[in-house]
Amino acid sequence: MRVLIVEDDPLLGKSVQAGLAQDGYVADWVRDADSAEHGLGVEHFDLVVLDLGLPQRDGLTLLKDLRRGGSCVPVLILTARDALSDRIEGLDAGADDYLVKPFDLAELCARIRALVRRSRGRPAPTLQAGDLALDTTQRRATLRRRALLLSPKEYAVLEILAGNPDQVVPRTRLQSSVYGWEGDVDSNALEVHVHNLRRKLGKDRILTVRGVGYRLVSSAHR
């Protein structure tokens, strides 16, 4: 799951990024509205954590611009502005949630999970694809009710595939969702994770769609 943090405070940006990473998110961080708008224009993000007090264009203006441009990305405002009128204005401008600083990182993560679930049209925290089930809160997967031992990256790949069962997920989408802007990622790393997942799930469960990406088969064929 990929989150864009828009925050000009270096300490806060860094700590939110580290906290989200620890919780299994790929969190990219920008410090101003222009960079955020550019990032959202070229890459897929599951959610934006948006500070309001930003240099130049402020967060509220950015949010209005995004919504005017048709962007549906879930936005959680994270700000020190705690007045009721600010909260109402933020939500009315198109934010999906509003959290006031200082905040608790565990609560931020729980709110993010809830928003992403809602945005995908399934409020329950469990993903089901045939006999494969994922608990997206605990980040655990079971196959025929038996726990699968997965690395964090393997789980991240599987969660995206299982969130789009029987659909082709583009390789570029998987790559960016699992690695973000980390940069020096071995281009074969994704293949290695898919290989390992096939070993654990059965090799016919994840199909390669040549030149495009991968598809998770929701029911095991015999």
**Binding-site ranges for Ca ion (CB under 5 A):** 8, 51, 53
d(CA 30, CA 6): 5
CB of 23 to Ca ion, least distance (A): 22
Q: Which is nearer to Ca ion, 81 or 117 (CB)?
A: 81
CB of 12 to Ca ion, least distance (A): 8
Q: Which is nearer to Ca ion, 24 or 39 (CB)?
A: 39
> What's the start-to-end Cα distance of the chain, in Å?
32
Q: Which is nearer to Ca ion, 51 or 154 (CB)?
A: 51
Cα maximum dimension of the chain: 60
Q: Which is nearer to Ca ion, 8 or 34 (CB)?
A: 8
CB of 31 to Ca ion, least distance (A): 9
Please give the structure tokens belonging to residue 74: 């879930």
CB of 75 to Ca ion, least distance (A): 15
Q: Which is nearer to Ca ion, 51 or 159 (CB)?
A: 51
Taking each helix axis from N to C end, the angle separating 84-92 and 59-68, rounded to the nearest 10 degrees, works out to 20
- Residue of this chain nearest to Ca ion (CB atom): 53
CB of 54 to Ca ion, least distance (A): 6
d(CA 215, CA 206): 6
Q: Is 188 exposed, middle or buried (0-12, 13-18, 19+ CB in 10 A)?
A: exposed
What are the backbone dihedrals phi and psi of residue 135, each rounded to the nearest 5 degrees, phi first? -95, 105
